[in-house]
Structure 1
Amino acid sequence: MDRIKRSLSILLVLVLPLVFLGGCGKEKEVIKETQLSVSTVKAEKRDIAQAVKYPGTVRGVNEVYIMAKIPARVTGVYVKPGDRVSAGQTLMTLDSSDFQAGIRQAEAGVAAAEAGKRQHDIQLENARLNYDRTKKLFEAGAASQQQLEAAESAVRALETGSIEATLQQAQAGLLAAQSQLNNCTVTSPINGTVGSVALSLGETANPSSPVATVSDTSRLEIETLVGESEISYIKPGNSVDILVKAVSDEPFKGTVSSVAGVADPMKRNYSVKVVLDNPDNKIKSGMFAEVLISTESKADVLTVPLAAVLPRGGREIVYVVDSKNRARELDVKTGLRDNKYVEITSGLKAGERVITKGNTLVNNGTLVRVISGGAK
């Protein structure tokens, strides 16, 4: 029994060091530091212009809301949204049965007035002939003064113009009836693209609501409101960038067409209109847009990409990579910003490489590995 105990004691003495050695090896694996992959870019000097974003909605420079002029049932719809139309082209038709009856009634009125006019003309001609005969007889002493005056009065009674007025009134009624009939055909007043069609077959048009919209989208307009602190920087003719993210991530070039001289009394902002060409019709009327208007500008100042600067408890910082491949936090002060870069007024030197991708994952002293693909 003692021999067995001694053998077990010796075995434990031999095994325990091996266990401790294995445990130490595993502990070293757990604390091994991992490198974080980041991208960097050099801080460089460049010209920069402060760009402020203003929201707006795209519409055709020549955009028309087409209204029905009469309340009537829709009998035909001949276009759909997206169709190209020409000025004068029929978009839809409305029920004209009531107006057809009005046309017939007005035509009958004109015919009666014309018949009355012909009869009147005959009567007037006879009255004038009678006056001429009576005058000759009066001069020859064969007719009395009373007979002459009666003949003259008969002519004047027929020359009042009442019959002509009656005919003109009837003709005007016919023109009005024809106009009402013409209103049953809704046409496009311009060349352009149909933006919307509000009515379907069988529905009733309401003169207070548009039945369709047509816009010439080859040239677009965006109206936005600018604050009083920036309006002095904006002049008609200024070139601006326009972001329409539904179409492209790259900005389109536009031009300021007008700047309001008086602020909106409620919002205290100024209306600014920007126009841009749209030859390929990629941008649709009604799309949301952002107008980037440059205000203050500086030349040859130190800049870094916007993504390089991070907020930290009321401060702004960037991370640079030191000679030991560790991220180092630097406090910086910033100035102007555009849609890509921000000016660094202090805290950084030209040529220092700042982290632009992965900087939200590192801390001061984090071991990093710089990879290609950073911002230029």
Structure 2
Amino acid sequence: MQKQLHTITLLVLMLVFTTVAVMAAASVEVTEVEQGNIKIIETVTGTVKADKNVNVPAEIGGVAKQVKVEIGDQVAKGEVLIVLNQEKLLVQQKQAEAALESARANYDQLKNGATQEELDRAEASYQQAKSTLENAKTNLKLVEELYNDKTSLEQQLTSAESQMANAEQQLASARQSLNQAQVNFNQAKKDYERMEYLFSESVVTEKDYDAAESQYKNAESALNTAKITVEQAEISYQAAKRSYQLTKDTYDNPTQLKQQLENARSQVKNAEAGLDSAKANLAEVKRGAREEQLRAALAQVRQAEANLEQVKLNLADTTITSPISGVISAVNIEEGELVSAGQSVVNVVNLNHVYVQLDVTASTVARLVKGEQVKVDVETMNDSLSGEISNISPAADPQTKNYLVKVKLANPALKIKAGMFADVALIKGSAQNAVIVPIEAVLDLDSAHPYLYLLKDNKAVKQKIEIGITNSDEVEVSSGVDVGDQVIIKGQNRIDSGVEVKVINR
């Protein structure tokens, strides 16, 4: 019996020691919840391209007489690169000059002292005289009708007065619309500026911001349209007012109308005399070579001039110059080699600025902003560079479904070469003044109910949280913890809520 009691006592003691060992405080590490900025960075690898990359073609064919550049040479815009043989073209130039001289001599012989310019002037004077007479007759008829029919003049006065009243009413309405458009624009501008600030602070959605921006642009367009409408209404009103005043003066002063009738008759007589004179002058100028002969001879002169001009252009094209300032990256011909028209002879690149060409997904491109500064790491270079997003394609590549993005880099020392690879750090999302904890502190991060452990009174307290932006190092906590709280970052996988813990990193 005593032996059994002894055995039971030993078992009880072992159980007590085991319990004490289990209840000993677990060791953990903690850190303090901080407030700061957090970013989601996506690194995309792209290829460096030259800002300008020009394949310089030969405009005409020929034999390369001189090749003045080599790969790596710096050239200025307009600098001579290649010179083609010119001997055949110089002979063609002399032939074209002789043909032009012959055509001019033939034309001078046919015109018999009457130049084409004189013929054109005489014809123009005749047509002008005919037009003047027709206008004078039309005016006379109108004045006679006004003079003989007082009722017609009264109707014109009434019509002019009505038109002026309508124009004045339209002007008043246009001004009222302009005032309302100005009020609408001022309010839309105020709303847009407020929405722009709220969007930059991530308070409103992009859809709300786009709606405010669209309303602002529509209001601006409406305001500009209203201004134009007022200007047009003002012009119409002034014209109607002048027409009314002229009609009224004529109606109130019959003597003036009679004088207008006499003047109109006199103008018709003068126009008839002018037409007779212009007709006689035209007949005199046309005597000599027939008009069609002169036109044919003149056409031959113009054809000869065009041929000579084409030869001169071909001669100029034998000197191939650089269209841009840059560096020679390829020379595709040798001296004495036959060059074809359109053949690329030299490649010139401008590397003062380069850009990194990227292919990014739809989710990434939606976050990018033109003009945004990004960090760029170019292979073979030790230090990171600052680049600017200069181009964002509005449409995806139909095959890859990715979007083309260009990041511009300054390259004053020309150390960055086309074809190099570069890593670009793109910001996909960010939050300012956020509550941030280390990512290792959060448990069940990818679940619907993430949580962490807080240190309170030397005990671990389980705390559910809501999270926002997450990157590889940190997590934004939108609710559940406050700045300054102590959060457990190591050892939390071996504890339960409410157990006593021992902090080992203080």
TM over 0.5: yes
Alignment of 1:1-376 (within 5 A): 47-122=37-112, 124=114, 154-157=288-291, 160-246=294-380, 248-297=381-430, 300-302=436-438, 336-337=471-472, 342-343=473-474
Following the alignment from structure 1 to structure 2, what is the Cα–Cα distance between the partners of residues 174 and 122? 26
Change (3 A) 1:296 1:157: closer
Change (3 A) 1:58 1:204: farther
- Contact 1:195–1:285, Cα closer than 8 Å, also in 2: no
- Contact 1:120–1:158, Cα closer than 8 Å, also in 2: no
Task: State the secondary structure of the residue aligned to 2:297.
Answer: helix
1:234 Cα deviation (Å)? 0.6
Following the alignment from structure 2 to structure 1, what is the Cα–Cα distance between the partners of residues 46 and 69? 28
Following the alignment from structure 2 to structure 1, what is the Cα–Cα distance between the partners of residues 46 and 67? 32
Higher helix content, 1 or 2: 2
Structure 2 unaligned spans of 5+: 1-29, 119-282, 441-469, 477-486, 492-506
Following the alignment from structure 2 to structure 1, what is the Cα–Cα distance between the partners of residues 31 and 95? 85
1:250 Cα deviation (Å)? 2.4
- Normalised by the length of structure 2, the TM-score is 0.45
1:218 Cα deviation (Å)? 1.5
Task: State the secondary structure of the residue aligned to 1:290.
Answer: strand
1:215 Cα deviation (Å)? 2.6
- Contact 1:234–1:295, Cα closer than 8 Å, also in 2: yes
Following the alignment from structure 2 to structure 1, what is the Cα–Cα distance between the partners of residues 285 and 407? 76
For this pair of structures, how many residues does the alignment match? 253
- Contact 1:58–1:220, Cα closer than 8 Å, also in 2: yes
Percent identity (aligned): 28
1:351 Cα deviation (Å)? 9.3
Change (3 A) 1:150 1:245: closer
Change (3 A) 1:151 1:244: closer
Following the alignment from structure 1 to structure 2, what is the Cα–Cα distance between the partners of residues 59 and 49? 28
Following the alignment from structure 1 to structure 2, what is the Cα–Cα distance between the partners of residues 114 and 256? 61
- Matching residue's letter, 1:273: K
1:291 Cα deviation (Å)? 2.4
- Contact 1:124–1:159, Cα closer than 8 Å, also in 2: no
Task: State the secondary structure of the residue aligned to 1:117.
Answer: helix
- Matching residue's letter, 2:336: G
- Normalised by the length of structure 1, the TM-score is 0.59
Higher strand content, 1 or 2: 1
1:178 Cα deviation (Å)? 1.1
Following the alignment from structure 2 to structure 1, what is the Cα–Cα distance between the partners of residues 396 and 309? 46
Change (3 A) 1:91 1:349: farther
- Matching residue's letter, 2:303: Q
Change (3 A) 1:351 1:245: farther
- Contact 2:111–2:294, Cα closer than 8 Å, also in 1: no
**What residue in structure 2 maps to residue 36 of structure 1?**
none
- Matching residue's letter, 2:376: I
- Matching residue's letter, 2:399: M
1:264 Cα deviation (Å)? 1.7
Structure 1 unaligned spans of 5+: 1-41, 129-148, 305-334, 353-376
Q: Deviations over 1:122-163 (max 9, x none)?
A: 3658xx9xxxxxxxxxxxxxxxxxxxx999674434664222
Greater relative contact order (CA < 8 Å, ≥ 6 in sequence): 2
- Matching residue's letter, 1:84: Q
1:89 Cα deviation (Å)? 0.8
Change (3 A) 1:122 1:293: same
Following the alignment from structure 1 to structure 2, what is the Cα–Cα distance between the partners of residues 61 and 123? 61
Change (3 A) 1:150 1:259: closer
Following the alignment from structure 1 to structure 2, what is the Cα–Cα distance between the partners of residues 70 and 349? 78
Change (3 A) 1:43 1:195: farther
- Contact 1:59–1:221, Cα closer than 8 Å, also in 2: yes
What is the aligned-residue RMSD (CA, Å)? 3.4
1:226 Cα deviation (Å)? 1.2
1:106 Cα deviation (Å)? 1.3
Following the alignment from structure 1 to structure 2, what is the Cα–Cα distance between the partners of residues 349 and 188? 67
